[in-house]
Homo-oligomer: A and B are copies of this chain.
Amino acid sequence: MDFSIYLPSVSLDCVIFSFHQQSLKVILLKMRGIDRWALPGGFIAQDQDLNAGASEVLKLRTGLENIFLRQFHVFGAQDRTGPEHVRLLVKQKILTQKEATWFLQRFISIGYYALVNYEEVLEPRPDEISEACSWVELDAVPQLVLDHEQILAKALEHLRKDLHYQPIGLNLLPEEFTLPELQTLYEKIIGKKLDRRNFRRKMLSHKILIDTQKRRTGLGHKAPILYKFDKTKYLEALDRGFQSSEFY
């Protein structure tokens, strides 16, 4: 592997969220030779835009393109990377000496979070230095390498904040979904239960949902209405941001 095509000192890490079976999940990679997991990451080619680099990482791991992807923070502590793991990988001949030199640099890492549709991701794909790649439930995240736990926590924090301004769900839910499902998504993100009736009222007030006139059956109780997003209005809300009173 030739790393000279990449910008030195700069890496990026992606927190890839999805929502499946009523729980929030992220993609993690199991590192070789160490009992720790990591966020999928990568580097930026010399001739590549930063955001394009992030898209590439995403494509590599999920096979998806044109996904909701957002920069949220740069992690730049001087001691955020450590040589131990790299040395181990050399000893186990997973990395060559030359490759190790690259990884032993000091990196700052640009954190991105992505929102993807679980169903559309066929099989998360690992890279050279990891032996597995899979979806992990947010409240069952194992020990991570380096500062990746901080990165994950910060991503969630930003996602939570962004919820105040923006609609969410288009990228995380299937084409059609019920309001209770959307509510669960919100609850998982903000970490607390919401009142059904108030949630419905507020959500419908945004006028970004379309009643498909269909219902989800087979659940052993009253069949909830299937909605889909009004994409035009959704995207409009996404960059205009909703609510906010006279000033804040």
Task: List the interface of chain A (C-beta within 8 A of B).
Answer: 7-10, 44, 46-51, 53, 71, 73-78, 106, 108, 110, 161, 163-165, 186, 190, 194-195, 198-199, 202, 243-244, 246-248
Contact = CB atoms under 8 A, between A and B. Distances in A.
B50 A108 contact: yes
Nearest to A8: B8
A74 B163 contact: no
A36 to B, nearest CB: 23
A195 B246 contact: yes
A116 to B, nearest CB: 22
Given A9-B9, A163-B247, A246-B198, A49 B78 contact: yes
A12 to B, nearest CB: 9
B106 A77 contact: no
Given A186-B247, A195-B246, A51 B78 contact: no
A44 B186 CA distance: 39
Given A7-B9, A9-B10, A199-B247, A78 B108 contact: no
B50 A74 contact: yes
Nearest to A183: B247
Contact of A165 (B7, B10, B108, B161): B161
Contact of A246 (B75, B108, B194): B194
A146 to B, nearest CB: 15
Contacts of A76: 44, 49-51, 53, 110
B50 A7 contact: no
Given A8-B8, A8-B9, A9-B7, A247 B78 contact: no
A74 B71 CA distance: 8
A242 to B, nearest CB: 9
Nearest to A164: B248
Contact of A244 (B10, B110, B164, B202): B164
A175 B246 CA distance: 27
B50 A163 contact: no
Q: Counting chain B CB atoms within 10 Å of each CB, which of A50, A165, A190, A243 scores highest?
A: A50
